[in-house]
Amino acid sequence: MFDHSHSTLPAAPGVGFKASHFAALTADSGPVRWVEIHAENYMGAGGRPMAQLSALGERFPISVHGVGLSIGGEGPLDADHLARLKRLIDRVQPASFSEHLAWSSHDTGYLNDLLPLPYTEATLDRVAAHIDEVQDRLGRQMLLENPSSYLAFEASTLSEPDFLRALTRRTGCGLLLDVNNVFVSATNLGFAPLDYIDAFPLDAVGEIHLGGHDEDTDDHGAPLLIDSHCRAVADPVWTLLDAVLMRTGPKPVLIEWDTDVPDWPVLAEEARRAEEVLSRLEVSA
Amino acid sequence: MTHAAQFRAGLLDARLPVPPGLTDGQGRPAGRRYAVYRNNVAVTLTEAIITGFPAIASLLGADNMQRVAGAFIRQEQPRTPILSQYGAGFPAFLAEQDQLSHLPYLADVARIDLAMRLSYHAADHTPLNPAILAQPDEATLMATRLSRAPSLETVSSRWPACSIWRYAMGRTADKPAGEAEDVAILRAEFDPVPVVLPTGGQRFLDALRADATLGDAIAAAGDGFDVAATLTLLLSHNALATPQPKG
């Protein structure tokens, strides 16, 4: 059981780091006060990625964000991957480590997507055991991120916020609240995003994510949003961020932009918008 | 079958029906919502192969590469979540494709693409000080053991694989000539480059990897081996490392 320190990231804007932004980011980071890396991109032994990571670590608090641990998986955690993660965490000494409420590996290999799981007492036991194992192995608390959902399981007996709350109570883990994921899931599954936020264990939130989504439709013509991280954050997601921060107070807010990555000024402008939201909060406090 | 096994089964086989027990959150069947996951898996793994084998993508063209990579990801998924290591089986896969048999060099060019990635992520090293080779005493020099840089990779080909790779990547306008090439991937600092090794160079580097002395490695390289040219090439790319103390 780990205490609720959640993370030591500053309550300020951060960005998901892209190698193409290295020169611009290190020359003038603008409003960006911290950076997040995907753990699996920094598991090589050396070369430019590790050199850039070392340079970033001297300038910014680092958040290590894993995408491949398959915490929601049915089988045991991959011990080799956990060992690689432990080496990276020991090397970087990040301000935060986070992973997803999802699975991505099965017996045939790694599927490179964040796949969903039903919310039941059985899956709760399994995910809690996996989080315990990760936190024990890494010797630190982790944050768990809420997923984007495109469908629901008939087998689910717990709501997602209740499932996440139970995990925080059992394991002492913190939560990474992805506000875009809330908006995407709410639209796709037909619930009110604010109801989800009101049910969410906000006292466990150590970090917030924002990202862009694409718009599609399902078989019945109903809107189907895709969590693509390939464009600017949508206006209703900014509005939802306001509502979240009014409830939580200032938090570290990350802009994710992973495909069709824009030039640095475009990403910096998104971070500036997050900075504005955070500064409005300070004025009204 | 468990939830995950059912969910997993249809992800890479679009002929299978949507797994049971999935809804749109309002009680209706999930239908094409499941295809979002199918699409994510196929698109991102295919993209990993396309970006991981840029010379093959250039040689085959976008449409063909999409088809070949799409077939490969259904046969072999990543063994780890580190996508930069994905595709070790792709060269052999290319060699097995009947419709690509008129391009028999593809597998070796793919091995260069793969070796470039391994080199890019390999451990850093302290380059060998060339002064070590300025030994006045030849016996001492020949008894010296040289270490390969961790980022040094080699690919031996019956085809002019390095010339084809360079042509495919737009590094040269010269059409590749029809000779076998032994290729070394050399990384002076951060950016690996493939170069053609002089005659015997591959055998020389194999001997160094087996911890041979310089004298034994030169003997292993065989007739016609130009030791001065080979060492100059390796040293100019920081491809030899300061030996680490044993133990």
- The ipTM assigned to this model is 0.94
pLDDT at A6 over 70: no
- What's the angle, vertex CA A4, arms to CA A3 and CA A6, rounded to 5? 120
pLDDT tens track for A157-181: 999 999 999 999 999 999 999 999 9
Identify the residue with better confidence: B242 or B245: B242
Looking at the structure of chain A, the number of domains it has is: 1
Residue type present at position B220: A
* Chain A environment of B83 (Cβ under 8 Å): 40, 112
Examine residue A46 and state whether it is found in any structural domain, yes or no. yes
* Chain A environment of B19 (Cβ under 8 Å): none
Examine residue A1 and state whether it is found in any structural domain, yes or no. no
Q: Considering only alpha carbons, which residue of chain B is nearest residue A52?
A: B190
- Do residues A177 and A200 lie in contact, with contact meaning Cβ atoms separated by under 8 Å? yes
Q: Is B45 in Cβ contact with A111 (below 8 Å)?
A: yes
- Do residues B186 and B237 lie in contact, with contact meaning Cβ atoms separated by under 8 Å? yes
| Residue B67 near chain A (CB below 8 Å) | no
Residue-number span of the structural domain to which A244 is assigned: 13-284
Identify the residue with better confidence: B175 or A116: A116
d(CA B176, CA B159): 9
d(CA B115, CA A161): 46
A199: exposed, middle or buried (Cβ count in 10 Å: 0-12, 13-18, 19+): middle
Q: What are phi and psi of A198, to 5 degrees?
A: -65, -25
Q: Considering only alpha carbons, which residue of chain A is nearest residue B84?
A: A41
Name the band, by pLDDT with cuts 50, 70 and 90, for residue B133.
confident
Q: Which two tokens stand for residue A238?
A: 């900014």
pLDDT tens track for A126-149: 999 999 999 999 999 999 999 999
d(CA A125, CA B188): 50
In the prediction, which pLDDT does A285 show? 62
Q: What are phi and psi of B143, to 5 degrees?
A: -90, -5
Q: Is A284 helix (H, G, I), strand (E, B) or coil?
A: helix
pLDDT at B245 over 90: no
DSSP string covering A132-181: HHHHHHHTS--EEEPPP-S-EETT--S-HHHHHHHHHHHH--EEEEEHHH
Q: How far is CA B60 from the centre of its chain?
A: 17
Report percent pLDDT > 90 for chain A. Answer: 95
In the prediction, which pLDDT does A5 show? 61
End-to-end CA distance of chain A: 33
Chains A, B: CB pairs < 8 Å = 146
How do beta strands A103-106 and A109-115 pair? antiparallel
Name the band, by pLDDT with cuts 50, 70 and 90, for residue A281.
confident
Examine residue A6 and state whether it is found in any structural domain, yes or no. no
In the prediction, which pLDDT does B134 show? 84
Examine residue A30 and state whether it is found in any structural domain, yes or no. yes
d(CA B27, CA B18): 15
B:17-56 residues touching chain A, CB 8 A cutoff: 21-26, 28, 30-34, 36-37, 40-41, 44-45, 48
pLDDT tens track for B13-68: 989 999 999 999 999 999 999 999 999 999 999 999 999 999 999 999 999 999 99
pLDDT at B176 over 90: no
H/E segment holding residue A198? helix A193-199
Identify the residue with better confidence: A2 or A99: A99
Residue type present at position B136: P
Number of residues in chain A: 285
d(CA B192, CA B238): 11
In the prediction, which pLDDT does A186 show? 98
In terms of Cα–Cα distance, which of A139, A140, A110 is closest to A43?
Answer: A110
d(CA A60, CA A222): 42
Mean of the per-residue pLDDT values of chain A? 96
User: What CATH number does residue A199 fall under?
Assistant: 3.20.20.150
pLDDT tens track for A200-224: 999 999 999 999 999 999 999 999 9
Examine residue A2 and state whether it is found in any structural domain, yes or no. no
In terms of Cα–Cα distance, which of A219, A213, A123, A227 is closest to B18?
Answer: A219
Q: Is A218 in Cβ contact with B121 (below 8 Å)?
A: no
In the prediction, which pLDDT does B247 show? 40
* Chain B environment of A78 (Cβ under 8 Å): 80
| Residue A79 near chain B (CB below 8 Å) | no
Mean pLDDT for the stretch of residues B176-205 = 95
d(CA A81, CA A68): 8
- Do residues B125 and B241 lie in contact, with contact meaning Cβ atoms separated by under 8 Å? yes
Examine residue A8 and state whether it is found in any structural domain, yes or no. no
d(CA B167, CA B160): 11
Examine residue A272 and state whether it is found in any structural domain, yes or no. yes
Mean of the per-residue pLDDT values of chain B? 94
pLDDT at A76 over 50: yes
In terms of Cα–Cα distance, which of B110, B142, B115, B121 is closest to B231?
Answer: B142
